[in-house]
Amino acid sequence: MAQTIEVPTDAELLQAQADLWRHNLYYLSSMGLRCAVELEIPTAIHRLGGAASLLDLMSALSLPSVKMPFLRRVMRVLVTSGVFAADNDSGSEAIYCLTPLSRILVHGVVADEHHSQKYFVLGVTSPHYTEAAMGLASWFKKDHEPPVPSPFEDICGVPLCDDRTPLLDKELDDVVTQGLAAHDNLGIATVMRECHDLFKGLDSLTDCGGGDGTTARAIIKAYPHIKCTVLDLPKVVDKAPADGVVTYVAACATLLER
């Protein structure tokens, strides 16, 4: 086996070092986003009229004054990653504004087509998910018997989005269920406007993993003649509205994955 290696040029070495830092620190953006969602910073900025200084946020979030320099660092990371925008042209303290990304993280508002993605963020950045990601190398080394479990199932003992998930962590199951529903419903109005021809000629359709039926209801609203059925886990179907607009059918997780 070769014991030598090609030496990068100075320019390549500097770029490689920058890329290494970028890849290794990417998770800080995800964790910063989770922090902002848990503190409800997007919602605070919205309630402050769509723009807020660091002092405004500290007051609105009731944070200890000693944490102000650290909040500034988190906001700087999130501005760089496009979660927020910052106006500091005047040279004074930055004024933070919402971007399209952070607007869909505003929680507790009522507006057409607004489905807050708060729980989607909390679900995919949860300790259970990140622990599974941290164990990828160990998972690859294991000689599993088919069917091969996902890294999440291998560590946690249950599959993702399964009837048994509440036994692992009821709070996680609630968060993931709400997150998936919000994610699935986010763009349906846009789809109906931009891709409405997709539904022409249909008399019925089944939405697999359709959650509370919001997507199906949007389709029925645009095409009243289409009969929509939602196929989802029993725990989801049990909580679905029984108004006869959408037909709900309970199914096991294995069937939904096919």
Q: Are 56 and 48 in contact (CB under 8 A)?
A: yes
The total number of structural domains that make up the chain: 3
Domain boundary among 109, 140, 174: 109
Q: What is the CATH number of the domain that holds 70?
A: 1.10.10.10
Q: Are 33 and 83 in contact (CB under 8 A)?
A: yes
- Output the six-digit token pair for 49: 């009229």
Query: What is the 3 state secondary structure string of 95-160?
Result: EEEECHHHHCCCCCCCCCCCCCCHHHHHHHCCHHHHHHHHCHHHHHHCCCCCCCCCHHHHHHCCCC
38 and 91 together in one domain: yes
- Output the six-digit token pair for 228: 């929509």
178 and 232 together in one domain: no
The answer to whether residue 154 is domain-embedded is yes
Query: Taking CA 188 as the corner, what is the angle to CA 185 and CA 194, rounded to the nearest 5 degrees?
Result: 160
31 and 83 together in one domain: yes
> What is the structure's pLDDT at 124?
95
SS3 251: coil
Single out the residue of 153, 108, 106, 111 nearest to residue 128, CA to CA.
Answer: 153
Query: In a 10 Å sphere around its CB, with 0-12 CB exposed, 13-18 middle and 19+ buried, how is residue 177 labelled?
Result: buried
What is the residue whose two structure tokens read 């979660």? Answer: 83
32 and 103 together in one domain: yes
The answer to whether residue 16 is domain-embedded is no
Distance CA 43, CA 48 (A): 9
Residues of the chain scoring pLDDT < 70:
1-2, 90-91, 253-258
> What is the structure's pLDDT at 35?
98
Going across the sheet that includes 95-98, the strands are 51-53, 95-98, 84-87
Q: Which residues contact 173 (CB under 8 A, 6 or more apart)?
A: 165, 166, 235
245 and 174 together in one domain: no
Determine phi and psi for 219, rounding to 5 degrees: -70, -45
**21-47 pLDDT, tens per residue?**
999 999 999 999 999 999 999 999 999
91 and 29 together in one domain: yes
Query: Taking CA 187 as the corner, what is the angle to CA 251 and CA 234, rounded to the nearest 5 degrees?
Result: 15
Structural domain containing residue 241: 199-255
